[in-house]
Chains A and B, each alone.
Chain A
Amino acid sequence: MENIILLSILVLGVTALAAAIVLYLVSRKFAVEEDDKITQIDEILPQANCGGCGKAGCHDFATACAGADEAGFAGLFCPVGGMKVMEQIASVLGFSVAAKEPTIAVLRCNGTCENAPAKIEYDGVSSCRIADRVSCGQTGCPSGCLRLGDCVKACPFGALHIDKTTGIPVVDENKCTSCGACVRACPRQLFEIRAIGKDGCRVYVACRNTQKGAVARKNCKAACIACLKCTKIHSDIKVENNLSYIPDTVSAEKFGAELAQTCPTGAIICTRCGENSHV
Chain B
Amino acid sequence: MLKISTAPHFQTTRDTRSIMLDVVIALMPAALAAVLFFGINALLVIFTSVAGCVLFEYLACRYWLKTRNTTTDFSAVITGLLLAYNLPSSMPVWMTLVGCFMAIIVAKTCYGGLGKNIFNPALVGRVFLFISFPVQMTSWPQPHLARFWETDAQTGATTLGILKHLDAETSATALQGKLPGYWDMFAGNIGGCLGEVSALALLIGLFYLLWRRVITWHIPFYYVSTVFLITAVLWLSTGDPRYDPLTHLFSGGLLLGAFFMATDYATSPMNKKGQVIFAVGCGILTVAIRLWSAYPEGVSFAILIMNAFVPLIDKYVAPRFYGSRR
> Are chains A and B touching in the complex at the 8 Å CB cutoff?
yes
Which one of A120, A121, A134 contacts B6 once the chains associate, using CB atoms below 8 Å? Answer: A134
Q: How far is the CB of A103 from chain B (nearest CB, A)?
A: 35
Which residues, 1 to 33 on B, are CB-close (under 8 Å) to A? 1-6
Question: B1 to A120, Cβ gap below 8 A?
Answer: yes
How far is A148 from B242 in the complex, measured between Cα atoms in Å?
65
Is chain B's binding surface mostly helix, strand, loop or mixed? Answer: loop
A5 at the interface (CB under 8 A from B): no
Our count of residue pairs bridging A and B at CB distance below 8 angstroms stands at 26
Report yes or no: B1 in contact with A123, Cβ–Cβ below 8 A: no
Tell me if B2 and A120 are in contact (CB < 8 A).
yes
Q: Could you tell me if A124 and B1 are in contact, using CB atoms closer than 8 angstroms?
A: no
A130 adjacent to chain B (CB < 8 Å)? yes
Chain A residues with Cβ under 8 A from B3's Cβ? 120-123
Partner of B5, one of A118, A119, A123: A123
Q: Which of B1, B3, B5 has the most CB of A within 10 A?
A: B5
Picked from A121, A125, A135, the residue with its CB within 8 Å of the CB of B1 is A121
Confirm or deny: A29 has a beta carbon within 8 angstroms of a beta carbon on chain B.
no
Interface size on A, residues (CB 8 A): 12
A135 to B2 CA separation, bound complex (whole angstroms): 13
Chain A residues closer than 8 Å to B5, beta-carbon distance = 122-124, 134
* A133 part of interface (Cβ distance < 8 Å): yes
Within 8 A of B (CB), among A121-164: 121-125, 130, 133-135
Q: How far is the CB of A142 from chain B (nearest CB, A)?
A: 14
Closest Cβ–Cβ distance, residue A120 to chain B (whole Å): 5
Q: B2–A125 contact, CB under 8 A?
A: no
Q: With A and B bound together, what is the CA distance between A123 and B6 in angstroms?
A: 8
Closest to A133 in B: B6
Distance in angstroms from B226 CB to nearest chain A CB is 39
Closest to B9 in A: A123
Q: Least Cβ distance of B158 to chain A in Å?
A: 40
Nearest residue in A to B7 (C-beta to C-beta)?
Answer: A134
B11 to chain A, nearest CB (A): 12
B1 x A130 contact (CB < 8 A): no
The residue on B at minimum CB distance from A124 is B5
Q: Which of A44-100 contact B (CB under 8 A)?
A: none
Give CA–CA (A134, B6) in the complex, Å: 6
CA distance A125 to B6 in the complex (A): 8
Closest 4 interchain pairs by CB?
A124-B5, A123-B5, A123-B3, A121-B3
Using a CB–CB cutoff of 8 Å, the interface residues on chain B facing chain A are: 1-6
Known: A120-B3, A120-B4. 17 other contacts (CB 8 A): A118-B1, A119-B1, A121-B1, A121-B2, A121-B4, A122-B3, A122-B4, A122-B5, A123-B3, A123-B4, A124-B4, A124-B5, A124-B6, A125-B6, A130-B6, A134-B6, A135-B4
Q: 26 pairs across A/B with beta carbons < 8 Å?
A: A118-B1, A119-B1, A120-B1, A120-B2, A120-B3, A120-B4, A121-B1, A121-B2, A121-B3, A121-B4, A122-B3, A122-B4, A122-B5, A123-B3, A123-B4, A123-B5, A124-B4, A124-B5, A124-B6, A125-B6, A130-B6, A133-B6, A134-B4, A134-B5, A134-B6, A135-B4
